Structure 1
Amino acid sequence: NWLGGWAARRAGIPAITTRRMDRPVKPGWLTRLTYERLTCRAVAIAPAVAEILRRGGVPEDRIVTICSSVDVEALRVPGAAGPTRERLRAELGARDDQLLLLGLARLTRRKGFDLLLQALAARRDDPRWALALAGEGEARHELQRQAASLGLAERVRFPGRRDDVPELLAAADVFVMPSRAEGLGVAALEAMAAGRPVLGARVGGLADAVAHDETGLLVPPEDVPALGAALDMLLNDSALRERLGAAGPVRVEAGFSARGMVDAYLALYHDVLGDAPGSAPSPRA
């Protein structure tokens, strides 16, 4: 961020930085240099990220919250109950009488799938679920070993990196995101846009994206018993799953649409440039 800000300052143009992570911002000279002298605005992709910037000492007038977005229409799959769904469910090891739990992410420790496997191990004898964790990452092999050691190897599939995200979401029944940390959780927004209830952790921007008991269930981070209890609620209550899933597209359209994000960025650019098209912009000191 500071290097881009320095280059922009040398060129005589304003710089805007975007903060996507929920890691702490350390107060100090580098933060002051980056956010007060070299850049004129800091865009936070979620209210939780904006709060991290505030705690790091970034001035309030430099912070703008513009949430990331997803395309609801692109995630609606025509004929979602047809042959493609049946084929994908079979590929992912889910029978017709099972709920398919789906995770889509880079498989790293921060995504918390090891915690989900622990919760599912206590429900090993419950035949109503199957789990698919799609994605690659340094934790994949460890997760596979963990699943095998817990006696879950036949219940958990690792299909790797996938490009057919809308179809996978249409094939799933519940989206799982038990993250230890999250900037916003765009994957959860995609699941909500596709009408799938989300089971997630109350961390970072994920708590901004998912409305607890409205579009999903949120539990404290790294709390395996709470994760298991929420999972039981979803397994036992089809009406709850339907209610949470139905509310997802409405919430995404209202607060996380591509149109809303574009309009917010345009307003920011006009503000930074002084709302004078064609005028020469000047950076803020």
Structure 2
Amino acid sequence: MVRTLQIVQHLRPGGLEKLVLNLVRFASPHHHVYIASLEGNLSAAIKAWPELAMFKDKLIFLNKPQGVHLKTAYQLRKVIQEFNITTIHSHHLGPLLYSRLALIGLNRTHIHTEHDSWHLQDPKQKNMTRWLLKSKNIALVADAPSVAKDLQQLLGRAANHIIYNGIDCHFFCIGDQTQARHYLNLPQDGTFIGSAGRLVSEKGIDTMIHALSSLPAQYQLVVAGDGYESLNLKQLARQLGVAKRIHWLGYCEDMRYFYRAINVFCMPSRHEGLPLALLEAQASGKPIVATRIGAIPDFTYPDSSQLVLPDDPKQLSQALQHVITQNICEHKIAQFIQQFADVRTMTAAYEALGR
């Protein structure tokens, strides 16, 4: 019996966090998967993300204080031993650090996935990541070819494997737009641009709001997600006179309806790896306008996508108008994602590494 512990920094709604939940949800019968969150506690996490309640028996919270806290490594080591964990799977730098400390003297399989490379532009993070990955006992995984290329250039270490992030293409699929708009209490008329993710600076929603101000009045923006930039973004919308054209959904429990309700999905991010929302939107048949960063160019259907530079509202608005006025074949977009980014393929690939 393989017993894997996924280690993440926190369990707040986000692409990486949804990915590790799927590794629990789609695990094969002989594979037991748990998630250790360095930060937070169970009750607060479930309150912020109700979906976690169904996984509560698989979740472990270490409630790490701010900064480096060596006691957290000791707590993690105890979890590994008490749960008889055979495979550690860390995601990003913090979990990598605490995993290496917790595994000193223990013989366990260690998989580490890098989901982006932009954080390696910081010399401190780059040097620490390079040092922690020196061990030959770590299987390094990149989730996209562009990430693997950056890891080689920035760290001088080749990824051992490339495993694409996967989504549930049975769940995210083409559906009825009228029903979806009714479910979300959105108007039935109008052209809807959708953006989703944490409302933080790196997601570039402010660029989208600036772009909206130069688009025709029938264009409306639907935003799914929450974050510390929420109040600033709403103030910006009021200043630009577009507040009445933006629908703030906050945390959206069933994202299928969000993707089905919109006409085009926009990702104006300043930093990204391989965002799950990009895959989910296309699996739902939606064309993409996004920034040309990270792994986004690797996973956008070329016949219906427009890629732009970050922080360029004029280019973004022009790209949105171009895409919205084109004839789009939703089924071709969905098939593009289905052929390589299904969660079942991803889960099987990771499980093969942990045997």
Q: 1:44 aligns with which of 142, 157, 182?
A: 142
* Deviation at residue 219 of structure 1 after TM alignment: 1.0
CA distance in 2, matches of 1:217, 1:29: 35
Is 1:75 the counterpart of 2:172? The answer is yes
Task: Please list, as runs of the form range in 1=range in 2, the aligned pairs for 1:53-202 lying within 5 A after superposition.
Answer: 53-60=151-158, 62-76=159-173, 80-82=176-178, 84-88=179-183, 91-92=185-186, 94-96=187-189, 98-123=190-215, 126-202=216-292
Q: Deviations over 1:38-59 (max 9, x none)?
A: 7421111222222221122242
Q: Deviations over 1:228-260 (max 9, x none)?
A: 1101212333x1xx23x3322111111111232
Q: Deviations over 1:48-87 (max 9, x none)?
A: 2222211222422x43211110111111366x145x3241
Say whether the 8 Å CA contact 2:268–2:290 is kept in structure 1.
yes
Secondary structure at the aligned position of 1:255 is classed as coil
Matched residues, number: 257
Secondary structure at the aligned position of 1:136 is classed as coil
Residue 271 of structure 2 aligns to which amino acid in structure 1?
A
- Alpha carbons of structure 1 residues 77 and 33: separation in structure 2 relative to 1, 3 Å: same
Structure 1: which 5+ residue stretches go unaligned? 271-285
Q: Which runs of 4+ in 1 moved over 6 A?
A: none
CA distance in 2, matches of 1:46, 1:215: 21
- Alpha carbons of structure 1 residues 68 and 12: separation in structure 2 relative to 1, 3 Å: same
Say whether the 8 Å CA contact 1:88–1:168 is kept in structure 2.
no
- Alpha carbons of structure 1 residues 143 and 167: separation in structure 2 relative to 1, 3 Å: same
158-167 or 245-254: bigger deviation: 245-254
- Alpha carbons of structure 1 residues 28 and 68: separation in structure 2 relative to 1, 3 Å: closer
CA distance in 2, matches of 1:186, 1:192: 10
| Percent of matched pairs sharing the same residue | 26
CA distance in 1, matches of 2:183, 2:323: 21
Partner residue, 2:316: 227
Q: TM-score, normalised by structure 2?
A: 0.67
C-alpha root-mean-square deviation of aligned residues, in Å?
A: 2.2
* Deviation at residue 28 of structure 1 after TM alignment: 6.8
Partner residue, 1:281: none
Q: Deviations over 1:114-159 (max 9, x none)?
A: 1111111122xx2331111111001111110111100001111112
Residue 252 of structure 2 aligns to which amino acid in structure 1?
R
Say whether the 8 Å CA contact 1:111–1:179 is kept in structure 2.
yes
CA distance in 2, matches of 1:104, 1:166: 12
Q: TM-score, normalised by structure 1?
A: 0.82
Partner residue, 2:24: none
* Deviation at residue 195 of structure 1 after TM alignment: 0.7
CA distance in 1, matches of 2:237, 2:213: 8
Partner residue, 2:118: 23
Residue 313 of structure 2 aligns to which amino acid in structure 1?
V
Residue 275 of structure 2 aligns to which amino acid in structure 1?
G
